């Protein structure tokens, strides 16, 4: 499995707008082979920002790569420019990608070398 994350540092006072933008986005991930799930995470508040992270799980890095090169990816991100000025960030999104090396499911079954 492969997990792709983007971290967003949203300036205080813009959290509602940020969340509304994400709630209103058209989902295109489910159209992709290898897509497992998506989460938008709200993290701790600091003095100068609230931390958010988008988190997608893929069957493999190759499936994630196919998403980034797909028409669905372009369509999902096409309206990003329309949101300029609605939300203030400390900096642009910060991407992090992870290969899953151990996976434990809800029953406690563990799969080593899951990648």
Report the Cα–Cα distance between both ends of the chain, in Å, rounded.
5
DSSP string, 17-80: HHHHHHHHSPP-GGGSTTEEEEEEEEEEE-SS-EEEEEEEEES-HHHHHHHHTSHHHHHHHTTG
Q: What is the DSSP letter of 115?
A: -
Residue found by looking up tokens 């897509």 in the block: 35
Residues in the chain: 115
Residue 113 banded pLDDT, cuts 50, 70, 90: low
* Mean pLDDT score of the chain: 90
For tokens 């609230």, name the residue. Answer: 50
Question: Cα 66 vs. chain centroid, distance in angstroms?
Answer: 16
pLDDT attached to residue 49:
96
Parent domain of 62: 2-111
Q: How confident is the model at residue 59 (pLDDT cuts 50, 70, 90)?
A: very high
Please report, for the domain that includes residue 82, its CATH number. Answer: 3.30.70.100
Highest mean pLDDT: which range of 42-56, 75-89, 93-107: 42-56
Closest CA to 18 of 106, 76, 93: 93
Instruction: Give the three-state DSSP class for 108.
Output: coil
Express as a percent the part of the chain with pLDDT over 70. Answer: 92
Question: For the residues 32-45, what does the mean pLDDT come to?
Answer: 97
Number of domains, the chain: 1
pTM of the predicted model, to two decimals?
Answer: 0.85
**Ranges 45-54, 68-77, 84-93, most confident:** 45-54
């Amino acid at each position: 499995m492969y997990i792709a994350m983007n971290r967003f540092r949203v300036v205080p006072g813009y959290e509602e707008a940020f969340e509304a933008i994400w709630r209103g986005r058209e989902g295109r991930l489910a159209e992709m082979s290898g897509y497992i799930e998506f989460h938008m995470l709200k993290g701790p508040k600091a003095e100068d920002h609230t931390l958010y992270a988008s988190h997608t799980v893929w069957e493999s890095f190759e499936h994630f790569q196919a998403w980034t090169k797909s028409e669905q990816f372009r369509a999902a991100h096409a309206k990003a420019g329309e949101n300029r000025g609605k939300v203030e960030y400390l900096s642009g999104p910060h991407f992090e990608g992870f290969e899953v090396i151990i996976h434990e499911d809800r029953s406690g079954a563990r799969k080593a070398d899951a990648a």
